[in-house]
Chain A
Amino acid sequence: MTYPVRVFFVGGLLSYRALFTWLTPWILIPTFLVAPIFQILLFAYIGRSANLQSDEFYVVGNALQYTSLPCLFAMANMLGDERWSQTLGILLSSPASRLALFLGRSLPVILNGALVGAFGFVAGSLILDVHVPASAFAPLALVILVTAVSCTGLGLVNGAIGLRVRESAVSSNILFGFLLVMCGVNVPLDELPGWMEAISSVLPLTHGIEAARELADGASLGDVSGLVATELGIGVVWAVIGCSLLRFLEVEARRRATLESS
């Protein structure tokens, strides 16, 4: 196995496992499986109270929004945890390819995000009795995966912020809440002010959620291919920004000798 490939796969997997402190994988259950169900239920009931949208609207919106939780938090925590365990300096002084290093850490996170979104969607649909045509299952799985990729792009930017600020959990929480408000998760985009709608068009999730809602309403993958491609494109742009920012802030931190102290 060549070095960059090894760094990509093995390094990414080890870093992902370290997120759960090695010995306590059970914390996956409340964080990734229970919490999304209750977010879906809470907003579905708020929606019912206001007579605004169907349960399907909230199941799709919140399940897909929850894909962003691992994508945002894990990407920032991976670097934060390296600093915490005093290995960040060693990691960044190694000659390993930075692209393999950071993108390798993204791969398990993308899969995690997609699984969380898919679980939330299935569980939410079963609990709230939302019916989706069977023909939509495979395209929906694809849309959830693409949305996880796109959220991980934003997660890379968040990870880069973690090189500069110490409490990356704050930026992760802010971004998670920002996506919840801005991306049409619980309020239709045309009910939001124009400036919020404009911002939402360059954020991950927005087009993925729109595509998933159309699929759940019976559209085919071909009908939503433009939305899916836009979602993927937005994710790639955020990933490029994230990798560039990571490189820039790494150089800055080395120049200022602030890698461990920021």
Chain B
Amino acid sequence: MRNALRIFGAGWWMNMKQLTQSPLFVFTSLIEPLIMATIAFYTAKAGGKPEALFYLAIGAGVMGIWSSTLFGSGGVISWQRWEGTLELLVASPPPLIVIVVPLTIATSSIGIYSLTATLLWGRFLFGIPFDLAHPWLFAVGLPIAVVAMGLLGLLIASTFVLYREANALSNMLEFPIALVTGLLFATSLLPGWTRPIGWLLAPTWAARVIRESALGGNPLFEIAMCVILSGVYLVLASHFLRVLEVRARAKATLALA
């Protein structure tokens, strides 16, 4: 347990430092959410719904966390493969899941930049007030939401072990998941069959946690959903990683997949 915590701390911190050195990752976590937020703000203003601006600012920020997670998690295996360290990690004594979890949590942690940048962008350029209805619930709910999204990233990363071009797949998933989770509009507009899909995805609950603690409401159910989904993602990812790792080693395709 102590070793696992040490691996978590070291892996999380190392990946945080590596990601902040990447201009592309900084773009993904800082500039892209501002682009989405700007379009959403102008759309709401032009549509005569200025009261929705804070709601949209939070949605764009959560979308930024999600984009960072997706981009980082999609690449986490590929980057190790390119650097020639994937075989070393797989061959090392700790289970692969213990090594990969902190890397994906780091990608979603970087996403907090996105939320901050989007809220500041809205505050200073569009005059959107930033008043938290429940600051303590916000402080508790935000890390839980970030971890839940990071573990969804882990689940995605675990299924990408076999694919060399995992980034193409992860880039493709950004908008579909933003769509079904209703990050920038109410999911009631979507066809009914899409809503259960959204319920299975952490960004749905993460956005609600942050919105309800910021705008007012009771986010405890949403926080509980984030915790439950985190556990489910962790179990599934652990299983997939074990199965796919064995398969890649048996076929000798770990470095080539």
Contacts and interface: CB of A to CB of B under 8 A. Distances in A.
Contacts of A47: 43, 47
A254 interface: no
A178 B42 CA distance: 14
B199 interface: no
Contact of A167 (B24, B38, B165): B24
B90 interface: no
Interface string B166-197: 00110110011011000011100110000000
B168 A31 contact: yes
A254 to B, nearest CB: 25
A50 to B, nearest CB: 3
Nearest to A192: B42
Contacts of B172: 30-31, 34-35, 38
A38 B189 contact: no
Interface stretch (B27-35, B130-138, B209-217, B228-236): B27-35
B189 A48 contact: yes
A188 interface: yes
A50 B164 CA distance: 40
A50 B185 CA distance: 9
Contacts of B190: 45
A93 interface: no
Chain B CB within 10 Å, residue with most, of A35, A42, A48, A50: A50
A38 B46 contact: no
Contact of B27 (A48, A174, A187): A174
A42 B47 contact: no
Contacts of A39: 175
A242 to B, nearest CB: 22
A46 interface: yes
Chain B CB within 10 Å, residue with most, of A52, A167, A188: A52
Chain A CB within 10 Å, residue with most, of B28, B46, B48, B49: B46
Nearest to A38: B175
Given A30-B168, A187-B43, A188-B46, A42 B24 contact: no
A96 B32 CA distance: 39
A173 B178 contact: no
A31 B184 CA distance: 22
Contacts of B45: 191
A52 B32 CA distance: 23
Contacts of A34: 172
A42 B35 contact: no
Contacts of A46: 39-40, 43, 184-185
30 contacts: A24-B165, A27-B168, A30-B168, A34-B172, A35-B171, A35-B172, A38-B175, A42-B178, A42-B184, A45-B189, A46-B39, A47-B47, A49-B47, A49-B184, A49-B186, A50-B43, A50-B44, A50-B48, A50-B49, A52-B47, A173-B24, A174-B27, A174-B31, A177-B35, A178-B35, A180-B39, A181-B38, A187-B46, A191-B42, A191-B46
